[in-house]
Amino acid sequence: MTRPKGIDSVLLRIIATVSVSMLTMFANAGVGEGQELYDSYCQICHGGLGEGQTMGKALTDTVANRLTDEELIAVITDGREGTGMTAWRSSFTETEIFDIAAYVRILQGRDGINLFDDKTVPSDGGEVLAGEQLFNGKAGCVTCHSYKDQGGNVGPELDGVFGRLGDRGLNRALLNPSASIVVGYEAKEIVQEDGTLIRGRYRNDTDLAVQIQSKDGRRWVTYFKDRVQSLVDSNESLMPDVYATLGAAEQEQLMTFLKSL
C-alpha cells in the first residue's frame, strides 16, 4: 500500500514534538519531590512561595533570578559563607538538590532546570564559582563591595566593573588600590584627642562636624571638628591589600569572577 504524499514529513514532525516533550519532562522531573523537600526544609527561612522571611532572603527577586542553574545548585549544595544559608551537601543527595533547585525555578515562574541548555553552564563556570566564594569568604571583598544588589557600600559596586575598567584597569585596581580612587569613595583620617587614628569613607562635612563611614560599613559616625586633634584627606584607599596575598590560582579565580559581573 502506497503512503500518502507528505506522510513522512508529518511523521517526522510528530516524532520531533514527542522527543522535545520527553526531554522537557526529564529536565523537570522531580519537581514534585523538590516541592516536598522545599516545604519541609526551606520554607521556614524562605517562605512558602519563596517570598522570603526574617531568617532567609527572597528566592523570587532579581538577585535570585539572575543565578544560573549551576549557581543555584551550588548555593544549595555548598551554602553561602557569611550568611545564614547552610550547605545541604551532607543532608541531601545530588538528585534531591537538583529537585529543590527545579522547584525554586517554578516559584520564580520559570520552567525548572533545563539540562539541555548549553548556555546554562559557562565554560569557566567552575572558576567563576570559586572566585565568588573567595569574594564572599576568604578575601572578604563583599564586606565593602556589592554585586547583584548584595554586599557592602564602603567601596564601589562591581556590576559591570570589567566593562568599565578592562584588563589593565582591573589589574591595577586589585594590585594598587590607591593608584586611582573612585570619586565619592575617598577616605579621611581623623586623630582624636586621645591620639586614636580613625580612617573611613567620608560621607558628610559641615563647618562643625564631619561624618565618616566605619570600615565595616555599618555605622556613620559624627566627629566634631573642635574635639579632634586633626582631620585630613587621605590619599590612600580604604581597600586592604588582600589580592597580593592570594595564590596565583586564587587570583585567577577572583579575576574570572569579577570579569563575569
Which of 77, 100, 120 terminates a domain? The answer is 120
CA atoms within 13 A on the CB side of 156: 20
CB atoms within 10 A of CB 128: 22
Compute the Cα dihedral for 28, 32, 37, 42 and give only its sign: positive
Residue 1 lies in a domain: no
Q: At residue 191, does pLDDT exceed 80?
A: yes
**Same-domain status, 105 and 172:** no
Question: CA nearest 214: which of 154, 143, 139?
Answer: 154
Q: C-alpha cell of 73?
A: 545548585
In the prediction, which pLDDT does 53 show? 85
As a whole number of angstroms, the distance between CA 197 and CA 210 comes to 15
CA atoms within 13 A on the CB side of 82: 15
Q: At residue 123, does pLDDT exceed 90?
A: no
CATH number at residue 202: 2.30.30.100
Residue 97 lies in a domain: yes
Q: At residue 14, does pLDDT exceed 50?
A: no
**Same-domain status, 143 and 110:** no
**Same-domain status, 34 and 108:** yes
As a whole number of angstroms, the distance between CA 180 and CA 169 comes to 9
Contacts of 173 (CB under 8 A, 6+ apart): 165, 179, 180
Instruction: Give pLDDT tens digits for 25-74.
Output: 444 445 678 888 989 999 889 998 989 887 888 898 888 888 888 888 88
Residue 137 lies in a domain: yes
Q: At residue 163, does pLDDT exceed 90?
A: no
Residue 38: exposure state from Cβ atoms within 10 A (0-12, 13-18, ≥19): buried
**Same-domain status, 27 and 129:** no
Residue 146 lies in a domain: yes
Which DSSP symbol is given to 182?
P
Distances 120 to 64, 125, 155, 184, 194 between C-alpha atoms, Å: 15, 9, 30, 37, 57
Mean pLDDT over the full length of the chain? 80
Q: C-alpha cell of 68?
A: 544560573
Apex 55 CA angle, 51 and 141, nearest 5: 100
CB 76 within 8 A of CB 83: no
pTM over 0.75: no
Residue 140 lies in a domain: yes
In the prediction, which pLDDT does 18 show? 39
Q: Which range among 108-112, 144-148, 181-185 shows the weakest confidence by mean pLDDT?
A: 108-112
**Same-domain status, 107 and 156:** no
As a whole number of angstroms, the distance between CA 230 and CA 186 comes to 17
Average pLDDT score over residue span 134-144: 88
Residue 3 lies in a domain: no
Q: C-alpha cell of 149?
A: 544588589
Identify the band that residue 117 occupies on the pLDDT scale cut at 50, 70 and 90.
Answer: very low
In the prediction, which pLDDT does 95 show? 85
Structural domain total, the chain: 3
**Same-domain status, 69 and 145:** no
**Same-domain status, 67 and 113:** yes
Instruction: Give pLDDT tens digits for 198-239.
Output: 888 888 888 899 888 876 677 888 999 999 999 998 888 888
In the prediction, which pLDDT does 194 show? 92
Which of 70, 102, 120 terminates a domain? The answer is 120
In the prediction, which pLDDT does 46 show? 93
**Same-domain status, 136 and 251:** yes
CATH number at residue 84: 1.10.760.10
Higher-scoring residue by pLDDT: 182, 9: 182
Q: C-alpha cell of 228?
A: 579632634
Average pLDDT score over residue span 91-97: 88
Specify which residues 205 forms β-bridges with.
Answer: 210
Average pLDDT score over residue span 109-125: 55
**Same-domain status, 204 and 146:** no
Residue 4 lies in a domain: no
Boundaries of domain holding 214: 187-234
**Same-domain status, 64 and 111:** yes
In the prediction, which pLDDT does 30 show? 56
Identify the band that residue 254 occupies on the pLDDT scale cut at 50, 70 and 90.
Answer: very high
**Same-domain status, 67 and 135:** no
In the prediction, which pLDDT does 76 show? 92
Identify the band that residue 80 occupies on the pLDDT scale cut at 50, 70 and 90.
Answer: confident
**Same-domain status, 156 and 193:** no
Contacts of 221 (CB under 8 A, 6+ apart): 198, 200, 211, 212, 213, 214
Instruction: Give pLDDT tens digits for 146-162.
Output: 888 888 888 889 988 88
